[in-house]
Structures are given as C-alpha cells and as structure tokens.
Structure 1
Amino acid sequence: MTLFQFLLIAAVIVAATLAVKFLPGERSLALKRIFAIVFVAAAVFAIVFPGVLTAVANFFGIGRGTDLLLYLFIVAMLVFATATVRAKARSDARVTELARAVALMEARISEQRHGTPPADAEGTSAQ
C-alpha cells in the first residue's frame, strides 16, 4: 500500500466520522452510521483494489473506474442537493410557524397590558 492510499483511507474515515458526528438529526443517526460504514468500506476497497473498480466500470459499459466514480459522485451530489433543499424548506416552515406564534403571543400580552380583553373572550361573552 502506498503512502497516498494510506492518506486517502485516513481522509475517508475522518470525513465519515465528522459527517456522522456533526450532522443534526438524531432520528436518522443509525441510518447515517450505517451509510458511513458502507461508504468507508467501499472507499477503502476502491483505494486498495483500484483494478476491481475498473472491472466493475467495464461491466457497466464505462471505460475507466475513475469515470464510474465521477458518475456516482454526480448522482450523490444531486441527492445531497435535493435533501438539502428539502431540509431548508422544512426549516423555513418551522421558522414561519414560530414567528406566527410569537406574534400572536405578543398581541395577547399587549392586549392584556392595555386592559382590552382578548378576542376569544369577547366572542364567548357575547353568546
């Protein structure tokens, strides 16, 4: 094994560890760990046995193993981008809900300070 292969393996392990450790979302922590282990195993295998990657690429009609890696990387980045956009949309929706709740609470507090009964109390007392 060359020094470069050793450094690549170390970098893959560090990247997977950091991704699992610092990405939010405890619900999917087990899934993240499984994907990290599979990723590390596949990356180490491809680094140690690059000829096998070329054979797999040839099986799929791709000329070189590096081309296969590039195509897989493009697909992975598209999946990552989609997941990121969806997560941001969910986060934006939560922020909107919180902002509405805070605005309603501030309005109720303001009404109570000025002695005006809340809108709910007016509607029930008129009945």
Structure 2
Amino acid sequence: MNLLQAFFIVSGFVISIIAFDIAKRQKFNALHFLVFIGIGISLFVFTIFPNTLEQMGHIFGLPRGADVLVYMSIVFLFYFVLLLLNKSEKNREDITRLVREISVLEDKLNQHDHK
C-alpha cells in the first residue's frame, strides 16, 4: 500500500464517521447522508480494488477510470453549490421577513408608548 492509498482509506473513514455523526444529530437529510456514505465507501472500494475504477471508465467510454472520478466530482460540486445557493437565498428571505416583523413590532411599541 502506498501513501496515496493510505490517504484515501483514511479519508473514506473520516468522511463516513462525519456523515454518521451529522446524520445522528439530524443536521442533513437522507439524500445527503447517502451521498457522503457513498463517497466514503467509493474511496474504500476504488482504493482496495483499483481495477473497478478502470472498468467504470470503460463503461462510460472514458480511457481512464480516474476521469470518472473527476466528472463525478464536478457533478457533486455543482449539486452542492446549488444547495448552498438555495440555502443562502432561503436565509436571506427569512432575515428579510424577521426584519419586517421586528420593524412592525417596534412601530406598535412606539405608538403604544406615545399614548
């Protein structure tokens, strides 16, 4: 086993532990949990059985199996960027709503105090 394989095995283990910990605290949904567990398991499988990656590359018509990982990583990164943008927009809308509600409440309090 070389240093890169050891790194991938440790990374897969750490990703799996983090996914289980976050899922236990119910901080993300089942789809995210499955994605992270899939990434962790994939790191183990592709490290222990490197020919599996080459076979996947040939299934997708790619000359190298590593290209499959690159393309899958790009898809996952786009997915998570879209999730983060969606969450950011939702947070912005929530903050706007809260600021409006606080404004209305402050106005009502000020009107009540002046009477």
Q: Which residue of 2 aligns with 1:56?
A: 56
How many residues are aligned here?
114
On the 8 A contact 1:16/1:36 being kept in 2, the answer is: yes
Please give the residue correspondences for 1:1-127 in structure 2 after superposition, counting only pairs within 5 Å: 1-18=1-18, 21=21, 26=26, 28-115=28-115
User: Judging changes above 3 Å, is the alpha-carbon distance between structure 1 residues 31 and 76 closer, same or farther for their aligned structure 2 residues?
Assistant: closer
Cα deviations across residues 42-68 of structure 1 (Å, max 9, x unaligned)? 221011111111111112100101111
Higher relative contact order (CA 8 A, sep 6+): 2
Seq. identity, %:
24
- Structure 2: segments with no counterpart, 5+ residues: none
Give the partner amino acid of 1:78: F
On the 8 A contact 2:9/2:47 being kept in 1, the answer is: yes
On the 8 A contact 1:57/1:65 being kept in 2, the answer is: yes
On the 8 A contact 2:19/2:33 being kept in 1, the answer is: no
- Structure 1: segments with no counterpart, 5+ residues: 116-127
Cα deviations across residues 62-116 of structure 1 (Å, max 9, x unaligned)? 010111111111111111111111111111111111101110111011111101x
Q: TM-score, normalised by structure 1?
A: 0.76
